[in-house]
Structure 1
Amino acid sequence: MVRFPVKFHLKTLVLPNVTTGCEGDLKDIQYDFYGTSIAVCDTAGKVQIIDQTQPEEKFHTFPHAHSGVVAGVDWAHPEFGSIVVSAGEEDHTIKFWKNVEGIWEESFPTGYFGNEMSVYNENFSLLPDDPKLGIYLENENISCLKFAPKEYGCCLFVGCESGAIYTLNFVKGRYDLQEIHSFDGKILTISFGPSTYSLTDIEESENDPGLAPIRFAVAVEGNSRIFQVLYKKDEQWISETIGHHDNAQCNTVSWGSNIGSHADILASGGDDKNILVWSKDRIDSDWIIRATINLAEEVSSVSWNQRGPTSLQATLKDGTTLIFKETMLDNSKYDLMAEINPEGEIFNSE
């Protein structure tokens, strides 16, 4: 089950009440940078963009965006335009949806990037119907996708059922598609680390350390007990094996913000009914378990509040959503703030 991200307004928990009209089960839900528009997709091929900037929501619906299950959706940073990307799990396609003067339409993200499009990898091609409207991955079933932080440019990462991870870079009106790594199992989640260094790294550096190296965490199906962190060093992608979940599948991983913090922070969840919170003080130090949250059900997804690493949202496989907050003055513990049952009823903790 996929749950709309919970919002906080004046310290009050707000559960968005949105009717999507999706025919299939919701597959993915993503808010834009400002938190005012939502992109959703379902298992029946539909992509929908919901504008919440006005008192009455405005729906932009593409009922046959893909053939079969839509693997996921994501927003480009607004610096690159008002762009949503979607990927078909079974039709092998990546498509782009662009807001042009209030109208959403399928359109390759030209304009900002220029009009000249070319591909640099023989495993990919432009869609045969219309060479301006998407990218076709001939031999891959797509399982997830995610834009990197804007500081690294307009770069989309694509995870596949085969275990392959590809990057799609837009540079000077062209896009470059490259396979950067391959795992022995379906890519379940991609989560990027922040583009900033932790305060510890900054304080110990003689000069401004600048931009942190691009890094991301993945959960891989069948790769039980562990998740991986990949980072780029000297133009090479290095893989680290990080977490364990007591011989159970790790289903999800989420990287939190490190702004104003002396450590990087990650959360992972799995079939062992635990959420593990990981931290590292320096970019070259080891990850350690900061906190363990024991639950009654298996964990299907975790995500941090975008404004900071103190609030954590987890969805369990039975459809329950739990909201945790870091315990005051003790970052090794997390207090349960609220529970939302599968019917959407909110139960606040005292």
Structure 2
Amino acid sequence: MATIGSLHNDMIHDAQLDYYGKRLATCSSDKTIKIFEIDGENHKLVDTLQGHDGPVWQLSWAHPKFGSILASASYDGKVLIWREDDSSSTRAWANIATHATHTESVNTVQWAPPELGAVLICGSSDGSVSVVEFSDDGSTNAVSVPAHSGAVYAVAWAANAAAAGTVGGATGATQRFVTGGSDGLIKIWHLDHATSLYTEESVLEATSTTGAWIRDIAWAPSVLPKSYLASASDDGSVLIWTQEQLGQPWKKTPLTADKFPNAVWRVSWSLSGNVLAVSSGENKISLWKENLKGGWEQCGSMEE
């Protein structure tokens, strides 16, 4: 296992590999983003991106069909879009767009599946979510969604975001995403094609613990109509949500009989969607797989 020196001057909040696993982007409370080239166990710092006026919380790589593009979300209330200039020998990175409609910290950001185009979703402490569409001519179109009564800490596009089905009486391709906030709620949204607005589809109560926040949400990749969601809360709970068909109710199953001893910060599905990785506050990553009875069993772990 290779260890990469961060070269940051403060706490690191996120680290994301690109689509091919050849580049690593990290962000920190030192207000910077660092881009590393990865070659086996070798790594090289290729650029340090500066432009934010506060800690940078999260990063998201766009699909390579759009080029080498990275989005960053910060406490300064801005989302910056960065692109590598591969036409020059230096291959320098530059800030090509700024999304600054939020009034408080932007905590989370994620690019949509590539079949939906260059579309970005952002979640903020002002309780709203913004969906930003980037056009080929450089123009942008942003839609704001009042999502939660508190801060939004987690967003995720549906893995089958353009799946056909019936939602809210409308049949056809349905763009969907999920949000989670400090109000302890998870909300599913879909695009209403008649109004071009995102409409609340389902509200899921993730935790009965007063004051518990939803820290992360992950939508499992799947070629089947059945959908899987995993949610993580700072009260130590991880829930698996399933929906058999588009438009049907969601059912929840606790990942474990007992909660994790500390806050759970991240959940992430494998590319095949059958293994869930859980990152918790005791510096441990555990791996989980569904058994034939519909329960979940631990199939591996990693500890510092």
State the TM-score, normalized to the length of structure 1.
Answer: 0.75
Q: Which residue of 2 aligns with 1:178?
A: 143
CA drift of 1:285 comes to 0.4
CA drift of 1:80 comes to 0.6
The letter for the 2-side match of 1:255 is W
Query: 2:238 pairs with 275, 284, 291, which one?
Result: 275
The letter for the 2-side match of 1:334 is W
Superposed CA RMSD: 2.5
Deviation above 4 Å: which 4+ runs of structure 1? none
Q: Contact 2:237/2:254 (CA < 8 Å) preserved in 1?
A: no
Structure 1 residues 232 and 44, CA gap change in structure 2 (3 angstroms) = same
Mapped to 2, the partners of 1:43 and 1:158 lie a distance apart of: 19
Report the secondary structure of 1:146's partner residue.
Answer: strand
Q: Which residue of 2 aligns with 1:103?
A: 91
CA drift of 1:300 comes to 1.8
Q: Contact 2:161/2:175 (CA < 8 Å) preserved in 1?
A: no
Q: How many residues align?
A: 289
Mapped to 1, the partners of 2:240 and 2:280 lie a distance apart of: 16
Q: Which residue of 2 aligns with 1:129?
A: none
The letter for the 2-side match of 1:195 is N
Q: Which residue of 2 aligns with 1:254?
A: 218
Query: 2:175 pairs with 205, 211, 214, which one?
Result: 214
Q: Which residue of 1 aligns with 2:5?
A: 19
Matches within 5 A, 1:110-121: none
Q: Which residue of 2 aligns with 1:232?
A: 191
Q: Contact 1:252/1:270 (CA < 8 Å) preserved in 2?
A: yes
Q: Contact 1:280/1:286 (CA < 8 Å) preserved in 2?
A: yes
Q: Which residue of 1 aligns with 2:24?
A: 38
Q: Contact 1:196/1:258 (CA < 8 Å) preserved in 2?
A: no
Mapped to 2, the partners of 1:265 and 1:171 lie a distance apart of: 31
Matches within 5 A, 1:339-350: 339-341=301-303, 344=304
* Identity within the alignment, %: 19
Q: Which residue of 1 aligns with 2:69?
A: 83
Q: Which residue of 2 aligns with 1:309?
A: 273
Mapped to 1, the partners of 2:2 and 2:295 lie a distance apart of: 27
Q: Contact 1:73/1:84 (CA < 8 Å) preserved in 2?
A: yes
| Structure 1 or 2: more strand by fraction | 2
Structure 1 residues 217 and 322, CA gap change in structure 2 (3 angstroms) = same
Mapped to 1, the partners of 2:161 and 2:272 lie a distance apart of: 13
Q: Would you say 1:192 and 2:157 are equivalent positions? A: yes
Q: Would you say 1:292 and 2:292 are equivalent positions? A: no
Task: Extract unaligned runs of 5+ from structure 1.
Answer: 1-14, 109-132, 345-350
Structure 1 residues 175 and 246, CA gap change in structure 2 (3 angstroms) = same
Cα deviation per residue 1:69-98 (whole Å; 9 max; x = unaligned)? 0121111111111111113212x3322222
Structure 1 residues 337 and 104, CA gap change in structure 2 (3 angstroms) = farther
Mapped to 2, the partners of 1:179 and 1:196 lie a distance apart of: 19
Query: 1:323 pairs with 276, 287, 297, which one?
Result: 287
Cα deviation per residue 1:209-250 (whole Å; 9 max; x = unaligned)? 97x4111111101x12x2111111233322220242223523
Cα deviation per residue 1:286-317 (whole Å; 9 max; x = unaligned)? 10124532333331221111x12211111112
Mapped to 2, the partners of 1:138 and 1:196 lie a distance apart of: 25
Which piece of structure 1 moves more, 238-247 or 55-64?
55-64
